[in-house]
Structure 1
């Protein structure tokens, strides 16, 4: 069986590929694609595989958008960390999924459904994805999206509204949560800024801060601002003169 993986976090993609090979050694991972744009480009010029495993939220948009540009003729199993609200919508629209972090057991069950999925999805994939996109858009608007975190040998989701900020320190990106925990992130601040959306503000080169984490903003010499957080933090978060008006506008919204 030939499989294409669409996932923008390389460690997650490699973990998925390795577990799939454990479940079924004769599986061929044709390629790993990391964005909507890359997937559209690939499927425009390559034969479609037998099955696709795809993350939902990619760096440049939702993976459902691929179906707007390419007529997918093979089943897609989505890898998701979304909450029960989203999963109910997937079930209602006949969309198959596995939860992150995935296990060999969940992958084995997904592969077992493969043949029945081929028949069930034929001709209806566009409508299924359109309904799913509307659901995910509503979730993002309500701040329920998540960021995947790797800790030791485990992958798990953390909701955006549980994150205080992302911080760049000595060229390493860290996530700080409300619970006081800190995780090293493989993504750059630029990538996280795109993923996190409008509830986060890129204060400067070093900090990406969640709106709900800000207690207040005070004047800081000369003509700058200083952000005080709701939680203890041992570094000063200074807003430059150039970003001062944008921050105040963002807080005002």
Structure 2
């Protein structure tokens, strides 16, 4: 079975690839694509595989956008962090999905389902994409999800609401949880901003902060703001006068 993975989180893609080969040793991972644009370009010049595993939200848009440019004629299994309620429409439209962090059992069940149903599902994917897109149109896609971090020899899923803030220093990015645990991550703050939702705010060049991690905001001379966090942190977090109003408006939303 030939498989293409569409996933912009490299750690998640690697973990998924390894798990699929464990479940079905005969699986061939033809390609790992990281964006809507890259996927469109790839499928324009390569034959479609037997099966696609795809994240829903990519850095440059929703993976559903691919079907507006390329006619997808093979089954797709979505790997997503959205909850079951938000994805009820997928059951109706026939699209299978697995929730992150996925398990070997959930992958096995999804593959087995598609092995049984791929004849009926193949050829109608564009219509199913449209139904799914409409169902998620009003859902706050980026405000819920899971961030994968590599810790020693393990991949750890950390939900967005467990993350207090991200900090970069000496070109090293770190993730801090509300329980004061710290993990070094490969992404830049610019990349993280694209993946996270309105619950996070880039207060300056070094900090991307979750609203729920902020204890208080104080005036700081001249016309700046100082952010105090709910967890101990030994560096001052200063907001420029240019961002002062934007931050206050964001906190009031």
Q: CA deviation at 1:87?
A: 4.0
Give the match's secondary structure for 1:18.
Answer: helix
Contact 1:224 1:241 in 2 (8 A): yes
What is residue 24 of structure 1 aligned with on the other side? 24
Contact 2:4 2:30 in 1 (8 A): yes
After TM superposition, the runs of 4+ consecutive aligned structure 1 residues lying more than 4 A away are none
RMSD: 2.3
What is residue 57 of structure 2 aligned with on the other side? 57
What is residue 206 of structure 1 aligned with on the other side? 206
Q: CA deviation at 1:142?
A: 8.7
**Length-normalised TM-score, structure 2:** 0.88
Give the match's secondary structure for 2:98.
Answer: strand
What is residue 240 of structure 1 aligned with on the other side? 240
Contact 2:74 2:125 in 1 (8 A): no
Q: Deviations over 1:60-94 (max 9, x none)?
A: 12212211221100011111222222343322332
Compared CA separation, residues 85 and 156, structure 1 to 2 (3 A): farther
Unaligned runs of 5+ in 2: none
1:126 aligns with 2:126: yes
Instruction: Quote the Cα distance in structure 2 between the aligned partners of 1:141 and 1:8.
Output: 15
Compared CA separation, residues 78 and 33, structure 1 to 2 (3 A): same
Give the match's secondary structure for 1:119.
Answer: helix
Instruction: Quote the Cα distance in structure 1 between the aligned partners of 2:66 and 2:213.
Output: 35
Give the match's secondary structure for 2:30.
Answer: strand
Instruction: Quote the Cα distance in structure 1 between the aligned partners of 2:148 and 2:245.
Output: 32
Q: CA deviation at 1:58?
A: 1.3
Instruction: Quote the Cα distance in structure 1 between the aligned partners of 2:45 and 2:93.
Output: 29
Instruction: Quote the Cα distance in structure 1 between the aligned partners of 2:173 and 2:135.
Output: 31
Unaligned runs of 5+ in 1: none
Give the match's secondary structure for 1:108.
Answer: helix
Give the match's secondary structure for 1:114.
Answer: helix
Q: CA deviation at 1:247?
A: 1.9
Contact 2:74 2:123 in 1 (8 A): no
What is residue 229 of structure 1 aligned with on the other side? 229
Instruction: Quote the Cα distance in structure 1 between the aligned partners of 2:28 and 2:145.
Output: 31
1:169 aligns with 2:169: yes
Instruction: Quote the Cα distance in structure 2 between the aligned partners of 1:215 and 1:104.
Output: 40
What is residue 77 of structure 2 aligned with on the other side? 77
What is residue 9 of structure 2 aligned with on the other side? 9
